[in-house]
Amino acid sequence: MRSISLSMYSAFTLGIALWLAYGLLIEAWPVVIANVITLILAGSIWVMRLRFGRQASK
């Protein structure tokens, strides 16, 4: 798990959230749906990195 940089993945997840907000603002539902799915997947990896990241490096 060491190979996944927490700062890089945080920036990636934030970028997806911003694209989701943009899609909502312009009411582009394909953009919204794609980014909701991506945010769920990226968010779950981000949470696992936070929760299990220190355990894997021991």
Q: Is the pLDDT of residue 6 over 80?
A: yes
Residue type, 25: L
Q: Tokens 């794609």 correspond to what residue? A: 34
Q: Is the pLDDT of residue 56 over 70?
A: no
Angstrom distance (rounded) from CA 14 to CA 20: 10
Q: What is the pLDDT of residue 1?
A: 47
Q: What is the pLDDT of residue 52?
A: 85
Is residue 4 very low, low, confident or very high in pLDDT (cuts 50, 70, 90)?
confident
Q: What is the DSSP string of the chain?
A: -TTS-HHHHHHHHHHHHHHHHHHHHHT-HHHHHHHHHHHHHHHHHHHHHHHHHHHHT-
Q: What is the pLDDT of residue 55?
A: 63
pLDDT in tens, 19-49: 999 999 999 999 999 999 999 999 999 898 8
